[in-house]
Structures are given as structure tokens and as C-alpha cells.
Amino acid sequence: MPDISASLRSSLETLVSRVSSQAPRMPASTVDTVERIASILRDLLADPARLAADPDLQHSLVRLVRTDLPLSLETYLNLPWWFASRRAGAGEELVAQLGLLEAEAHRVAERFYASDVDRQADHTRYLRDRDA
């Protein structure tokens, strides 16, 4: 099975690079939001074996990297700069979409790291019970 993580990382970096190069025409804070989302996704993509073991999680990540994030950004960037800058709603829509996508990235990360969080909680219980 090919390493889909490498392909997703490449797609993500290409998108982040495009957004960074277009920063002057992006609404305030959107470049930072894209970078925060990308940071979360990079962490998840750094463990391809774990992703391969959970097809639902992998699907969620593929959808974020290949569909949802690019669609939001490309739709905005495809507008002529003069039109987007005059139409407040275009920037507001992008900001709202990125907020929703950042929340989705956090939900995916919660699922990705759930077993680690459980293991940490189990160890805390063990340590408390051991001293009792």
C-alpha cells in the first residue's frame, strides 16, 4: 500500500505555500489560521502507520487536506483581488470556513491521540491506586 501520508504532506505544503505567497490579499488572520491547521495536520501525517491502521481517520484527514481546505482557499483566491477586497462577505466567509476547518482538525487530532490520552489516564489511576 503506498504511503498516502507523503502525498498528503506534499499537497498540504503546496497549499500552504500558495496561501503564504498570497498573504497580502488574504483577509487578516487567515494565513495564521491556515498555518495552525497545517501544523495539526503535519503532526498527524508524521505517523503514517497509525493512519493506515484507522481508515475512518485517514478518510477524515484526506478530506481535510485534499477537499475542504483547498476548496475554501482556492474559491477565495480565484476571485479577482479587487473584487474580493471590495466585497466584505468574501473574506468573512473564508474566515468562517477556516474556523470550522480548524475545529475539524482538532476533532480529528482528538481521535488520533485518543489511545495516548487513555493510556496516560490509566497510568495516573495506577499511580494513585499504588500509593493508596
pLDDT digits (tens, 9 = 90+) for 20-33: 999 999 998 999 99
- In sequence order, the 6+-apart residues with CB closer than 8 A to the CB of 69 are 12, 15, 34, 37, 101
- In sequence order, the 6+-apart residues with CB closer than 8 A to the CB of 3 are 48
- In sequence order, the 6+-apart residues with CB closer than 8 A to the CB of 42 are 9, 12
CB 22: neighbour CB atoms within 10 A? 15
pLDDT tier at 2, thresholds 50, 70, 90: low
Look at residue 20 in the predicted model and tell me its pLDDT: 94
Domain span at 47:
4-131
Q: Determine what percent of the chain is predicted with pLDDT higher than 90.
A: 67
* Total count of domains within the chain: 1
Residue 101 · residue 37 · CB < 8 Å: yes
Look at residue 38 in the predicted model and tell me its pLDDT: 98
pTM: 0.87
**Coil, strand or helix: which one is 79?**
coil
Q: Determine what percent of the chain is predicted with pLDDT higher than 70.
A: 98
The mean pLDDT value of the chain amounts to: 91
Q: Say how far apart CA 4 and CA 77 lie, in whole Å.
A: 27
Residue 60 · residue 52 · CB < 8 Å: no
pLDDT tier at 89, thresholds 50, 70, 90: confident
Look at residue 1 in the predicted model and tell me its pLDDT: 39
Residue 122, phi then psi, degrees to nearest 5: -60, -40
